[in-house]
A and B are shown apart, each in its own frame.
Chain A
Amino acid sequence: MSKPLNGFRALAAAGAAVTLAATAAACGEDSGSDADIVWWHIQNQDPMMSTWQAMADEWAEESDLTFDVQPIENEAFKERMGTSTQSGEVPDLFQTWGGGVLAEQVEAGLVQDLTGKLDCIDKINPIALEPYTIDDKLYGMPFDAGVVGFWYNKDLFAEAGIEQPPATWTEFLDAVQALKDAGIAPIALAGGEQWPGHYYWTYLAMRLAGLDGMSAAAEAGDFSDEAFVQAGDMLAELAEMEPFQEGFESAAYGEADGQAAHMGEGLTAMELMGQWAPVTQADASGIEGGLGDALGFFPFPEVEGGAGAPTEYLGGGNGFAVGSDAPEEIFDFMCYLMEDENQTRAVTDGGFTTVSATPEVIAPEMDANTQAVVDAMATATGTQLYLDQAYPPAIGGVINEATEGVILGQISSEDMVAMINEAWAAEQ
């Protein structure tokens, strides 16, 4: 029995070696640039593409370092990162969202520990560092951060006779009913992309189990606690009210008939989305400025009797991680990006939500929407990174999938919890 297996293994190993060698050779070209610092980021459109190129050029002049800056489209970036991590050749500086994907890269020894290496660390809002902190060590520097909450259309709320944004889940369900009664689609949801739906389940779980309950469950890989089943039940209850726009099951987020466009055109009353929502609403609907002053923000409501507080936010942002072979001069460049003046450029050009510890210096005149997110972050008592980023991709994927199943009434809350537990068990 063992002999043929060994023979097979040898053959397979040879095949593996050949394939890996081929992959490595193919990817080596990408990262094997002559420049001192190879930088991959995902701002592949102006104005930020030029802004970051300009910052790299400025620093190159000041420091005598050479740069190879590669702006890559979001999805393409993830794919290139995938192949390049598999070959063990990562760029010196690259986009990261922190969480489980970063943790996998850390485990594979591909990224540098930044703890104590960034002189400018005090300039950054500590809450924005959380997604990049793994086992008390920092592996990434954020440049944008924010929270998820309800973006709502004040005019439509008024039309339905809702006087103030709901503060509790009961009030929220009442508001949904009031909107329906007024003939307004209450909620825009991109059901075709599973991630927007997973915000609902996550927030309900956060409100019911509390952040401690969330981290305990993730620690143990066990979501059997009653709170997680109940979160699914409450989401199913919401879905049964049919609060979503027609055809939400296949809707995309950013397309012309998607979630953001529905909001931007004033067709639905609210959406649960991150800090980028106002910009995307305007872009996807093609209406300059989107809803403008009619757009408001309120935190995910409190769930009566739950352990969580409404000041606990689901959120996340964008950051940079440093490849294991990067020269140490790169830390100075990262701090150059953090300088007040350059932060301001990123906020004005790219519409980023600043991670600066002193946002009033960076952006003295913020628009009301950005202000709402910045205020929320300033008063946040805790944050939870999006689960599909925080957990390893295999588990995040299952949570997204199962949430869609619950919303569509295809699986029960118990099924969902069982799926998540099973995925964790397989990951151990």
Chain B
Amino acid sequence: MSAAPTTSPVPPVERPAGRDGKASRRRPAGRPGAGTLAAFIAPGLVLFLLFVLAPIIFAAYVGFFRWNGLGGPPTDFIGFENFANLIKDSVFLGDLWRVGLIIAMSLVIQLPLAFGLAMLLHQRFPGRTIFRLLFFVPYVLAEAVTGVLFRLIFSERRGFADSLLASLGVESDIGWLSDRSLVLFVVFGILTWKFFGFYMILYLAGRQNIPEELYEAAAIDGATNRQMFSRITLPLMGPTLRITIFLSIIGAVQLFDLVFVLTGGGPFHASETMAITMYEQGFQRNQIGYASALSIAMFLISFVFALFYQRYVLKRDLQGGLTGGGSNGGDR
């Protein structure tokens, strides 16, 4: 924050190699010239332009048209109408609300659960590797497979969930996937089952990076467990915590496969996500223009969030983090 580029432009420390041909030719080995740089960057750059940037630009362009995707390029230019309809669309607004709910539940339930388990599994006890492995297994399953699996588990008449309850003596008539007020929480439960292992592994790795000497020193100074946790563990796991929050939020915004297979977004939009609405509009209803506008909205949400998050939250982590020595600025 102290070195905001707009107010005090910092002169470049070194001139980029290859600014002028002469300089680069005289450069000793290990400093590639402009031609070499171009040759190595070009393939990646071309692919990026062709398969990332071009489709984004194309989608943004199509978002300004009414277009069913058939018979040549779009011609019916309607300005911002698709975007105006979008912010009036109760389904889209509902999608935003549901994404918000899933993010909130992820931050309050899913990540803390993974964190707690990681702390437990960091302790030494027999069979700990087996537990680590078991908890990670759901993450290995494809999302679509998970969707099919839980469709069977929560099947209305012969599902495992109901059988299990029955064997415990509970006669349930819970509409796991058919009750509009319940289905989103069931979806969240499944998401948690699927992803907690992934976050747990990240937390475990983060925890293992903290040198034990710190704890030993703290113990000698008479720190309690609670103090060690709040003064050593939490701050030093900051980078991991921040990146998992980031991944969790972006994942929620883009949520599609699992829910699509599980409920198709129903009943009547109760579990619908932005990506499902986009799919319905674009591929089922041939409203390519409207779906493109929606995809641009999704893109902007993710993009703006990512920018702000990286700028203000991940700043220190991205500048070299803990092991990179003193960070270049904005450090406390």
Residues on A close to B: CB < 8 A? Answer: 9, 11-13, 15-16, 18-20, 22, 79, 82, 85-86, 88, 104-105, 107-110, 191-193, 245-251, 255-257, 392-394, 396-398, 401, 404-405, 408, 410, 426
The 9 closest A-B pairs by CB, nearest first: A108-B71, A247-B156, A12-B61, A249-B178, A15-B57, A249-B267, A250-B178, A250-B177, A397-B285
- Closest chain B residue to A402 by CB distance? B268
Q: Report B-chain residues with C-beta under 8 Å of the C-beta of A410.
A: 180, 268
Interface centre among B73, B156, B158, by most chain A C-beta atoms within 10 angstroms, is: B156
User: Is B70 an interface position by the 8 A CB rule?
Assistant: yes
**B283 contacts A257, CB within 8 Å?**
no
Cβ 8 A contact of B54, one of A19, A108, A246, A257:
A19
> Considering the chains assembled together, what is the distance between the CA atoms of A401 and B270 in angstroms?
13
Chain A min CB distance to B219 (Å)? 54
Determine which of A79, A104, A249, A397 lies in contact with B266 in the assembled complex, contact meaning CB atoms within 8 Å: A249
Contacting B60 at CB < 8 Å: which of A12, A108, A110?
A12
Find A249's partner among B158, B175, B283 (CB 8 Å cutoff): B175
**Contact (Cβ within 8 A) A246 B70:** no
A246-B61 in contact given A82-B283, A257-B156, A408-B267 (Cβ < 8 Å): no
Set B66, B70, B263, B266: member contacting A404, Cβ < 8 A: B266
The 8 Å CB contact of B73, one of A16, A250, A255, is: A16
Q: Is A392 a contact partner of B72 (Cβ separation < 8 A)? A: no
Contact with A along B151-166 (1 / 0, CB 8 A): 1000111110000000
CB neighbours of A109 from chain B (8 A) = 71
Residues of A within 8 A of B264 (CB): 192-193
Q: Do A86 and B268 touch across chains, with their CB atoms under 8 A apart? A: no
A residues in contact with B68, CB < 8 Å: 104, 392-394
Minimum Cβ distance to chain B for residue A91 (Å): 16
B residues bordering A, Cβ < 8 Å?
50, 53-55, 57-58, 60-62, 66, 68-73, 151, 155-159, 173, 175, 177-180, 183, 263-264, 266-268, 280, 283-287
Task: Collect the chain A residues with CB atoms within 8 Å of residue B268's CB.
Answer: 249, 401, 404-405, 408, 410
Q: Which residues of B contact A88 (CB under 8 A)?
A: 71-72
Which residue of chain A has the shortest Cβ distance to B91 in the bound complex? A401
Of A245, A393, A408, the residue contacting B285 (CB under 8 A) is: A393
Contacting pair A20 B73 (CB below 8 A): yes
Q: Shortest distance in angstroms between A74's beta carbon and chain B's nearest beta carbon?
A: 14
Q: Tell me which residues across on chain B come within 8 A of A256, comparing CB atoms.
A: 155, 158
Q: Which chain B positions have C-beta within 8 A of A85?
A: 69-71
Query: Are the C-beta atoms of A247 and B50 separated by less than 8 Å?
Result: no
A192 and B286 form a contact (CB under 8 A): no
Most buried by A among B60, B178, B263: B178
Output the nearest chain A residue to B73 by Cβ-Cβ distance.
A16
Which residues of chain A come closer than 8 Å to B73, judged between CB atoms? 13, 16, 20
Complex-state Cα separation, A20 to B157, whole angstroms: 47
**Who on chain A is nearest to B158 by CB?**
A257
What residues on B are CB-neighbors of A15 within 8 Å?
Answer: 53-55, 57-58, 61
B285 touches A250 (CB 8 A): no
Smallest Cβ-Cβ distance to A247: which chain B residue: B156
- Whether B158 and A404, one on each chain, are in contact in the complex, defined by CB atoms closer than 8 angstroms, is no
Q: Is the CB of A247 within 8 A of B61?
A: no
What are 5 pairs between A and B in contact, CB < 8 Å? A11-B57, A88-B71, A104-B286, A255-B151, A397-B285
B285 contacts A394, C-beta separation under 8 Å: yes
- Do A13 and B71 touch across chains, with their CB atoms under 8 A apart? no
Which chain A positions have C-beta within 8 A of B72? Answer: 88, 108
Residue in B66, B70, B280 whose beta carbon sits within 8 Å of that of A397 in the complex: B280
Known A22-B50, A246-B173, A256-B158; contact A104-B70, beta-carbon cutoff 8 A:
yes
Contact call A191/B178, Cβ cutoff below 8 A: yes
Q: Measured between C-beta atoms, what is the minimum distance from B181 to chain A in Å?
A: 11
In the assembly, what is the distance between CA of A21 and CA of B63, in Å?
A: 19
